A and B are shown apart, each in its own frame.
Chain A
Amino acid sequence: MAKSKKRKASGNSVTSMLIRRPIQKWFPLFILPTFICFCIGFIWPFIQGIYLSFCNFNTPDDATFVGISNYVKALSDPGFVHAFWNTAAFAVVSIILINVAAFAIAYALTQKMWGANLFRTVFFMPNLIGGVVLGYIWSMIFDGILKQYSTYLTANATYGFWGLVILVAWQQIGYIMIIYIAGLQAVPEDMLEAAKIDGANKWQTLFRVIIPNVMPSVTICTFLTLTNSFKMFDQNLALTGGAPQVIANGAKVNMTELLALNIYSTYNINKNWHGVAQAKAVVFFILVAVLAISQLTATRQKEVQQ
């Protein structure tokens, strides 16, 4: 650190002349194309999205300002409220299931075992397949199983919910496992040896030495599964598409719909719902952003403690 500070004091202007200014001249090549695409693909749609959430619109050209009525409609829509609780329940269940299973598998695979690499490869594989294809595969499997009890997947919201949990667990356990493996391999060898010499048994070592040491990985994985569950779309669409639909308080509610899919299907009702869908999207964004920011602060705190 001291060295680099000294360098900065004496060599800053030289560095600036040698490196900074010549690069700056190439602004149009190095940064402009990316920036323009970033504006097209993100900044402009984002700003326009916030504006349109206060409008009635079919296309942006015929937008008329209506104030916060879209938000009122969005938050009083039973389908949206149901999707929120559905998503929250789904997030809690999948966080616990995925993390416990992934940690157990990672712990076993870091023990001395034949074929650990092969097993790791197999468990990770479902991650590479897209959500739509996965949804289709599992809907066939669930329908095949449920047929023996003469029913089907979209007959009952409970089936759809647990079906989605199983699908997502199957897909993401391998991914979370990889992060836990990296964390477990970073546990200092001398700590494990000291525990052994002190006569700690396997369980004591696991709970008193290993788990405290992998806490940073636990934080990362918990929040990864949390944000992934909240943003879940493809799997939800392909597995049940929100079915079955029931009428509650005079409004249609898709029983297995999560938030992201609810926004999408709201938009597709008709053009009177475009503004409401966009308002829901803004609410959804705020929700995900709050979760993500609390993730960052939690991770930071953990790092400071280390």
Chain B
Amino acid sequence: MEKKSVGSIILTVVFALLSLIWLIPIFEVLINSFKSNAFVNLEPFAFPNAESFVGMDNYVKGMTFGNYPFMQSVGYSVLITVVSVALILLCTSMTAWYIIRVNSFFCKIFYYLCLFSMIVPFQMVMFTLTFTADRLKLNTPYTIPIVYLGFGAGLAIFMFTGFVKGLPLEIEEAAAIDGCGPVRTFFGIILPMLKPTLISVGILQTMWVWNDYLLPYLVLDRTKYMTIPIHVQYLKGSYGTVDLGATMAVIMLSIIPIIIAYAFCQKHIIKGVAAGAVKG
């Protein structure tokens, strides 16, 4: 290792402090999730003490808080995210390959429409999308992935085509000469080569679908189905006198899976987000 100057030690200390400050909001949720409601209101920045500490009560309460079981929201969130992202990855990678290799007039039109869709804000289509989804019965967690595929296709196709353009034709020609059909070529040869882009697109779309509030709020039949963001907003918005302690517990429960996932694939996530940002 090289010598560290005094300056770099000071910088390290400053950044260590700054990182701690950065984490205060999360920490704040954590300590408040162990305090009873009155104390969250009264002294939100105090540590739980003998008087205010309620153990896991808030977590237990949070599970059924707001007349809707929290675990059901989690279940729907997981279902929608997993199915939507899988569908987006599979369909758009196939489409991107088709667009680049066939390159017909229709393909070009479709590609430019995808680029165009990337600059259209959701507010432009949200009301009409809600009507369309209602009419086509896409308002359940089982069918909403179709809406996500439709609205999310733009960015995914854009990123996949960027990668497919760089793949050498020779491999596919050799495969074709050996009698390998397009379907097998795609799943056996192309898809494994697409892995880095699959990871990037997968992470970007997961972050989008998992945290998305407005699209499922408008499209889903709200009386029956909630996702985590809808659940959190519902607790805040329309639940009369809010039990802050229990709400903090619910928020904590919704953050924990994200932090665990982040701890495990931090490098992929940062790389994927950077790739998406530079291209988008």
Contact = CB atoms under 8 A, between A and B. Distances in A.
Nearest to A216: B278
Size bracket of the B interface: 35 or more
A67 to B, nearest CB: 19
Nearest to B120: A285
A80 interface: no
Contact of B119 (A116, A237, A288): A288
B121 A29 contact: no
B182 A22 contact: yes
Nearest to A39: B150
A45 B119 contact: no
A22 B278 CA distance: 34
Contacts, number: 280
Contacts of A48: 128, 131-132
Interface stretch (B47-55, B60-68, B192-200, B254-262): B254-262
Interface residues of A, number: 94
A170 interface: yes
A1 interface: no
A122 interface: yes
Contacts of B83: none
B123 A285 contact: yes
B153 A41 contact: yes
A41 B273 contact: no
Nearest to A147: B44
B148 interface: yes
A20 B136 CA distance: 34
Contacts of A178: 270, 273-274, 277
Interface in B76-101: 91-92, 94-95, 97-99, 101
A175 B207 CA distance: 13
B153 A37 contact: yes
A41 B32 contact: no
Contacts of B183: 26, 29
A137 interface: yes
Contact of A37 (B91, B210, B251): B91
A159 to B, nearest CB: 16
Q: Could you say which of A29, A42, A52, A282 has the most chain B C-beta atoms within 10 Å of its C-beta?
A: A42
A199 interface: no
Contact of B150 (A20, A29, A37): A37
B113 A123 contact: no
Interface in A130-152: 130-133, 136-141, 143-144, 147
Contact of B22 (A31, A41, A123, A129): A123
A111 B11 contact: yes
A40 B119 contact: no
Interface string B106-128: 01001001100111111111111
Interface string A169-189: 010000100110010000000
A121 to B, nearest CB: 6
A59 B146 CA distance: 22
B149 A41 contact: yes
Given A127-B273, A130-B229, A179-B278, A24 B91 contact: no
A124 B110 CA distance: 35
Interface of A: 14-15, 18-20, 22-27, 29-31, 33-35, 37-46, 48-49, 52, 59-60, 108-109, 111-116, 118-133, 136-141, 143-144, 147, 170, 175, 178-179, 182, 220, 224, 230-231, 233-234, 237-238, 241, 260, 263-264, 267, 274, 277-278, 281-282, 284-285, 288-289, 292-293
Given A234-B229, A284-B123, 20 more contacts: A26-B182, A29-B183, A31-B110, A37-B91, A37-B150, A41-B149, A44-B128, A45-B129, A118-B19, A123-B22, A126-B25, A128-B258, A131-B213, A133-B255, A136-B232, A141-B25, A141-B44, A281-B124, A285-B124, A289-B119
Interface of B: 2, 4, 8, 11-12, 15-16, 18-19, 22-23, 25-26, 28-29, 32, 40, 44-45, 91-92, 94-95, 97-99, 101-104, 107, 110, 113-114, 117-129, 131-133, 136, 138, 146-154, 157, 169, 172-173, 176-177, 181-183, 186, 207, 210-214, 228-229, 232-233, 236-237, 244, 247-248, 251, 254-255, 258-259, 261-262, 266, 269-270, 273-274, 277-278
18 contacts: A19-B173, A20-B102, A34-B149, A38-B117, A114-B4, A115-B12, A126-B22, A130-B213, A131-B211, A131-B213, A139-B236, A140-B244, A141-B44, A220-B278, A260-B123, A281-B124, A285-B120, A285-B121
Among all A-B residue pairs, the 3 with the closest Cβ atoms: A41-B150, A130-B211, A144-B44
